[in-house]
Amino acid sequence: MVTTPLELHPPLPAEEYAERRRRFLAALGQGTAILPSAPQAYLHGDVEAGYRQDGNFFYLTGLNEPQAVAVFAPHHGEHQFVLFVLPKDLEKEVWTGYRVGPEAAKELYGCDAAFSIEELDQKLPEYVEGATCIYYHPSRDEAMNEKIYRLWRQMVNLRQRKGYGPTVLADVNPILHPLRMVKSPVELQRIRQAVAIAAKAHIHAQETTRPGMFEYEIQAGMEAIFRQHGGAPAYPSIVASGPNACILHYGDNIRQTQAGDLVLIDAGCAWGCYNSDITRTFPVNGTMTRPQQLIYEVVLRAQLAAIEVVKPGVPYDQIHKTAVRVLVEGLIDLGLLRGDAAEIANEKDEKQQKYRPYYMHRTGHWLGLEVHDAGIYYQDKEVATLLAPGQVFTIEPGLYIGPHAEPFAGQPAIPDEFRGIGVRIEDDILVTETGCEVLTAAVPK
Ligand code: GLY
Ligand code: MN
Ligand code: MN
């Protein structure tokens, strides 16, 4: 019996992938798209990290193997979808697990032709010479980037001599990402499951955290719940108590919590290749101090106001603008900022943003197959993407009054009572026909 990587998660229906490919092939026009799988990552030396597939590649193929390339050639007479995969090698598979191999790939993954990855260089020209454009997205895999650049150079020379062949090398994301941004019903089921598991873990953390627990104990309790449900951390879980909450990418999770701390938990679950991303901040001993409560309430107001604006047709950046406006008003009320709220909130030059010492990140990101999912935020300079039903994203404002934070020049000094308070509240939002659904509403805030 063989275990394919996909059997580890319930596979999506074959028709789901076929439909995605139909739409992608139609959008490619006369272009050929070349999409490589993600390279294998290593923890150290030759110790492999858990494999995480490239989002574009997985979206269109469902294949969860490294060293594979998918080619889409809508203009090709016979082969519009071609896979290049690792050849079968039973000896190597004993070490690294099952490989589908070219023979089975055609049947299992619905391609028109499949070859060994070793034949890639030789076969690629056949699939690009009839195209007007090569679509590709440059990645950190420089060897692959160079391979595609050499192919393009070869094709440009071909055109000079033969009068046909692609002249343009273009980014594939503007073609593919608009398709990925709107989630299908089965994708939404997966996201809901990833949310449900993470919600359970957050509720467990809120109910069981006591002063004196180490951050990693809280993390362990949550990740046990992810694993018990067949999930895994969607990204390194952040369990940040006390002043650690002011470190945006804190991940050491080694501090012992103390009575009087807030703990900021940013932990999401990956399930069936889809993700959730949730942040909650709560007091370890059940009660907030007055300064903690004041900061928390500003963040909560900002988050609720931002959620309120979500409905189809609204420009995406309206969410961030709304959150910033409410945060700035709150900071002025608390005496942490001074000036005109609208003027401070509307400042475009990052270096001039007076709130930036306390709020230095954007208010969210698309969410799906990747935690920071496919999709553009602006269609043109200052022209934001419009919200549409089926889009999923996070809304995650925060305030961070770091122990070493320095107010913007000319702004009020930070009272000691606010130092070391960090709060973020993050929910996952689905745009519906009439407004939005807060997918993560089950987690108290
Ligand atoms: N935890 C990653 C993020 O919130 O974007
Ligand atoms: Mn997030
Ligand atoms: Mn997060």
Q: Which residues surround ligand 2, an ion (CB under 5 A)?
A: 277, 394
Provide the pLDDT for residue 159.
Answer: 86
> Percent of the chain at pLDDT above 90?
89
Inform me whether the pLDDT recorded for 364 exceeds 80: yes
| Catalytic (active site) residue 249 | yes
Provide the pLDDT for residue 407.
Answer: 98
Confirm or reject: Cβ of 277 under 6 Å from ligand 1.
yes
Inform me whether the pLDDT recorded for 133 exceeds 80: yes
For the segment 166-184, the average pLDDT, to the nearest whole number, is 97
Cβ within 8 Å of residue 156, ≥6 positions away: 165, 166, 167
How far, in Å, from the CA of 362 to the mean position of ligand 2?
A: 10
Inform me whether the pLDDT recorded for 360 exceeds 50: yes
For the segment 73-92, the average pLDDT, to the nearest whole number, is 96
Confidence of residue 40 (pLDDT cuts 50, 70, 90): confident
Inform me whether the pLDDT recorded for 99 exceeds 50: yes
Provide the pLDDT for residue 9.
Answer: 60
Is the CB of residue 300 less than 8 Å from the CB of residue 419? Answer: no
Would the CA dihedral through 118, 119, 125, 131 be positive or negative?
A: negative
| Catalytic (active site) residue 266 | yes
User: From the candidates 277, 370, 373, 428, which is the catalytic residue?
Assistant: 277
Provide the pLDDT for residue 2.
Answer: 40
Provide the pLDDT for residue 47.
Answer: 86
Confirm or reject: Cβ of 51 under 6 Å from ligand 1.
no
Confirm or reject: Cβ of 235 under 6 Å from ligand 1.
yes
Confidence of residue 304 (pLDDT cuts 50, 70, 90): very high
275-288 residue pLDDT tens:
999 999 999 999 99
Inform me whether the pLDDT recorded for 392 exceeds 70: yes
Inform me whether the pLDDT recorded for 4 exceeds 80: no
For the segment 419-440, the average pLDDT, to the nearest whole number, is 98
Torsion of CA 283, 285, 289, 293, to 10 degrees: 30
pLDDT, the chain, mean: 95
Give Cα 396 distance to the centre of its chain.
Answer: 14
Provide the pLDDT for residue 10.
Answer: 67
* Strand pairing category for 133-136 and 31-36: parallel
* Planar angle of CA 314, 434, 324, nearest 5 degrees: 35
The tokens for 160 are: 């000079």
* Whole-angstrom distance, CA of residue 290 vs CA of residue 292: 5
Provide the pLDDT for residue 3.
Answer: 40
Q: Within 13 A of 220's CA, how many CA atoms are on the CB side?
A: 6
Is the CB of residue 169 less than 8 Å from the CB of residue 49? Answer: no
Provide the pLDDT for residue 399.
Answer: 98
47-76 residue pLDDT tens:
888 888 899 999 999 999 999 999 999 999
Q: Whose CA is nearest to atom 5 of ligand 1?
A: 372
Q: Within 13 A of 71's CA, how many CA atoms are on the CB side?
A: 29
* Strand pairing category for 81-85 and 42-44: unpaired
Task: Tell me the CA distances in angstroms from 404 to 14, 339, 357, 418, one per residue in order.
Answer: 53, 23, 10, 11
> Percent of the chain at pLDDT above 70?
98
Ligand 1 pocket test target in 202, 239, 265, 371 with most atoms within 8 Å of CB:
371
Inform me whether the pLDDT recorded for 89 exceeds 90: yes
User: From the candidates 329, 373, 426, 428, which is the catalytic residue?
Assistant: 426
What's the burial of 342, exposed, middle or buried (CB within 10 Å: 0-12/13-18/19+)?
Answer: exposed
User: From the candidates 266, 370, 373, 428, which is the catalytic residue?
Assistant: 266
| Catalytic (active site) residue 417 | no
Inform me whether the pLDDT recorded for 422 exceeds 80: yes
Give Cα 236 distance to the centre of its chain.
Answer: 13
* Whole-angstrom distance, CA of residue 374 vs CA of residue 367: 8
Provide the pLDDT for residue 252.
Answer: 97
Provide the pLDDT for residue 11.
Answer: 78
How far, in Å, from the CA of 183 to the mean position of ligand 3?
A: 20
How would you write the chain as a 3-class SS string?
A: CCCCHHHHCCCCCHHHHHHHHHHHHHHHCCEEEEEECCCCCEEECCEECCCCCCHHHHHHHCCCCCCCEEEECCCCCCCCEEEEECCCCHHHHHHHCCCCHHHHHHHHHCCCEEEEHHHHHHHHHHHHCCCCEEEECCCCCHHHHHHHHHHHHHHHHHHHHHCCCCCEEEECHHHHHHHHHCCCHHHHHHHHHHHHHHHHHHHHHHHHCCCCCEHHHHHHHHHHHHHHCCCEECCCCEEEEHHHHHCCCCCCCCCECCCCCEEEEEECEEECCEECCEEEEEECCCCCCHHHHHHHHHHHHHHHHHHHCCCCCCECHHHHHHHHHHHHHHHHHCCCCCCCHHHHHHCCCHHHCCCCCCCCCCCCCECCCCCCCCCCCEEECCEECECCCCCEEEECCEEEECCCCCCCCCCCCCCHHHCCEEEECEEEEEECCCCEEECCCCCCC
| Catalytic (active site) residue 396 | yes
For the segment 191-215, the average pLDDT, to the nearest whole number, is 98
Inform me whether the pLDDT recorded for 1 exceeds 60: no
Q: Whose CA is nearest to atom 3 of ligand 1?
A: 277
Ligand 1 atom having least distance to the Cα of 268 = 1
For the segment 305-333, the average pLDDT, to the nearest whole number, is 98
Query: Which of 107-111, 314-318, 439-443 is the least confident region?
Result: 107-111
Q: Within 13 A of 212's CA, how many CA atoms are on the CB side?
A: 1
How far, in Å, from the CA of 231 to the mean position of ligand 2?
A: 18
Inform me whether the pLDDT recorded for 6 exceeds 60: no
What's the burial of 47, exposed, middle or buried (CB within 10 Å: 0-12/13-18/19+)?
Answer: exposed
User: From the candidates 355, 400, 427, 428, which is the catalytic residue?
Assistant: 400
Ligand 1 pocket test target in 239, 277, 429 with most atoms within 8 Å of CB:
277
Rg over CA atoms, the chain: 24
User: From the candidates 23, 204, 365, 419, which is the catalytic residue?
Assistant: 365
214-241 residue pLDDT tens:
999 999 999 999 999 999 999 999 999 9
Torsion of CA 229, 230, 234, 235, to 10 degrees: 100
| Catalytic (active site) residue 127 | no
For the segment 123-131, the average pLDDT, to the nearest whole number, is 96
Ligand 1 pocket test target in 266, 363, 427 with most atoms within 8 Å of CB:
266
How far, in Å, from the CA of 3 to the mean position of ligand 3?
A: 33
Confirm or reject: Cβ of 266 under 6 Å from ligand 1.
yes
| Catalytic (active site) residue 46 | yes
Provide the pLDDT for residue 273.
Answer: 87
